[in-house]
Amino acid sequence: MAQKPKAPAPAAARSRARPSRAAASASTASGREDPAGRPVYLVDGTRTPFLRARGKPGPFTPVDLAVQCGRPLLARQPFPSETFDMVILGCVNVIADEMNPARVAALRLGMGAAMPAFTVQINCGSGMQSIDTAFRMIELGKADVILAGGAEALSHSPLVLSQEATKWFARFATEKTAWGRTAALAAFRPEMAKPVIGLERGLTDPMTELNMGQTAEVIGHIFGITRKAADAYALESHLRLSQAHKEGFLDGELIPAVSRDGTLYDHDDGVRPDTSMEKLASLKPVFEKPYGNVTAGNSSQITDGASWVILASEEAVKRHKLRPLARIVDAEWSALDPSIMGLGPTLCCTALLKRRGLTREDIDLWELNEAFAAQVLACLAAWEDEEYCRDVLGLDGVFGPIDRDRLNVDGGAISLGHPVGASGNRIVLHLVNAMRRLGLKRGMATECIGGGQGGAMLLEVV
């Protein structure tokens, strides 16, 4: 069993009944029978460079990002864009002039006025949910070719005002007399102008009032993840991504973007090849001061970016002579206490493998979204913890270790950034490309989801 850290428990954990390894009342959708429908293939995909949010709105809105990597993707297909049956886009922070960004993106991509499109929002699971929804539609014979993506511009996140402010604006707008408007004006209080979702971009769970970093502190504490282990994980993430850039491992997947003023954005700008354990150790905890372990260096970065994949049925693959990259085998979603949301991957991956009659050893490559180093490491520790595996995952023995050489081999959200609505899509796309490069067969992409959920997708290279 992992050692408890010497520092006091994070305030987030002390201030409420601290969930133990076994306390998670968790569920998965695994009761569902496998519909054993038509095979579904991932045939292509692209993403934009991931660009750090730098305190002011960046060069691209969510739809701009979706269009930037969508246009070259559509252009390189052997069929016209009207062939798509549907466009599905994950986006968490939709901006006011891009309501239903899926549809706005489809129109701006020139996919025709008759192209149906909808947006999905399940926080950090949005970009993977779009793939799962497309997968199920094709599997059930409701569609043949779907464009499924995720787009997020955290630098453009709208500021959301309180219900009190909303009521005040409604009252002011509907007062018909000068006296009524004056009375409404007199009722305005400056604190009403304070956004309830502000520059922290909705990264606080509304039920527990813990922000995402605090939830990482909680599970890091439960599983005894040390600061040194988290920093070492973060350092490796930067080294792996910078190596992947150097070796051209991201070519084909990463598409440069050009802003309206003509500036070219052709690389992920969050990666720090020059970081070191010393530099990481010097950073102060951000979410639990002064004893926490989660810092700017071992957290995912706040970033803008988009990613698309194309899914196709077997018939569509034959008809358009497409080259499938992988088959989507199955997907699974789980839910758990929001204050330990980071453990979501342990539930859905375990349930998914069980349903498929597979074990951890059958998975050649893993992409586990790096929300926080402490969160990734807590998942790995949970899978090796007998009590957790028995009481929460319902296993007879431990799930077992995941080899670091098979996990996030080209870095992840700590070095690359985490545009929340896009990341789930990117990890699926990258998993497929990395498996093909390494000559591997079966991979799992998984992510924790703010609000207390987890998502997992199983793919096989064809």
Ligand X SMILES: CC(=O)SCCNC(=O)CCNC(=O)[C@H](O)C(C)(C)COP(=O)(O)OP(=O)(O)OC[C@H]1O[C@@H](n2cnc3c(N)ncnc32)[C@H](O)[C@@H]1OP(=O)(O)O
Residues recognised as catalytic? 124, 448
Comparison of 300 and 339: residue with beta carbon closer to ligand X: 300
Q: 211 forms bridges with which residues in the sheet?
A: 204
Minimum CB distance to ligand X, residue 240 (Å)? 13
Name which of 44 and 205 has its Cβ closer to ligand X: 205
3 state SS of 145: strand
What type of residue sits at position 192?
M
From 9-17, 61-69, 134-142, 299-307, span contacting ligand X (CB under 6 A): 299-307
Q: Which of residues 122-181 bind ligand X (CB under 6 A)?
A: 124
Under a CB-based contact definition with an 8 Å cutoff, are residues 454 and 333 in contact? yes
Contact criterion met (CB below 8 Å) for 305 and 48: yes
Measured from the CB of residue 21, what is the shortest distance to ligand X in angstroms? 20
We find the least distance from the C-beta atom of residue 375 to ligand X, in angstroms, to be 8
Q: Which of 28, 300, 334, 425 binds ligand X (CB under 6 A)?
A: 300
User: Which DSSP symbol is given to 122?
Assistant: B
Nearest Cα to Cα of residue 305 among 373, 254, 271: 254
Cα dihedral across residues 443, 255, 243, 303: positive or negative: negative
Q: Which is nearer to ligand X, 125 or 149 (CB)?
A: 125
Strand partners, 265: 257
How many C-alpha atoms does 262 have within 13 Å on its Cβ side? 0
Q: Choose which of 51, 65, 106, 203 interacts with ligand X (CB under 6 A).
A: 203
DSSP-based three-state secondary structure for 309? strand
Helix (H, G, I), strand (E, B) or coil at 224: coil
- Pick from 42, 91, 106, 212 the residue near ligand X by CB under 6 A: 212
Beta bridge partners of 456: 332, 446
Region binding ligand X by CB under 6 A among candidate stretches 66-74, 165-173, 273-281, 379-387: 273-281
Provide the minimum distance between the beta carbon of 382 and ligand X in the complex, in angstroms, as a whole number.
Answer: 16
Query: DSSP letter at 63?
Result: H
Query: What does residue 327 show for φ and ψ, rounded to 5 degrees?
Result: -105, 135
Please give the structure tokens belonging to residue 211: 């922000």
299 binds ligand X (CB under 6 A): yes
Binding residues for ligand X, rule CB under 6 A, total 23
Q: Which of 272, 355, 426, 430 binds ligand X (CB under 6 A)?
A: 272
Closest separation in Å from C-beta 293 to ligand X: 12
Q: Following CA atoms 234, 68, 71, 90 in sequence, which dihedral angle do they give, to the nearest 10 degrees?
A: 60
The site string for ligand X over 218-247 (x = CB under 6 A, - otherwise) reads: --------------------x---------
9 or 283, CB closer to ligand X? 283
Stretch that binds ligand X, among 74-82, 249-257, 271-279, 377-385 (CB under 6 A): 271-279
Which positions ≥6 away from 62 have C-beta within 8 Å?
A: 91, 93, 94, 95, 98, 101, 151, 152, 153, 156, 306, 421
Q: How far is the CB of 177 from ligand X (least distance, A)?
A: 47
Q: Which is nearer to ligand X, 119 or 300 (CB)?
A: 300
Query: Which positions from 347 through 376 interact with ligand X, judged by CB under 6 A?
Result: 371
- Helix locations, 223-307, DSSP H: 227-247, 277-281
* Cβ 294 to ligand X shortest distance, Å: 7
Q: Which residues contact 300 (CB under 8 A, 6 or more apart)?
A: 369, 370, 371, 372, 412, 413, 414, 417, 418
Contacting range for ligand X; rule: CB under 6 A; set: 60-68, 132-140, 278-286, 381-389 = 278-286
**Cα–Cα distance measured from residue 43 to residue 77, given in angstroms and rounded to the nearest whole number:** 10
Q: Which of residues 427-456 bind ligand X (CB under 6 A)?
A: 448-450
- Which residues bind to ligand X, rule: CB under 6 A? 124, 203, 212-213, 238, 272, 275, 279-280, 283, 286, 296-297, 299-302, 371, 418, 420, 448-450
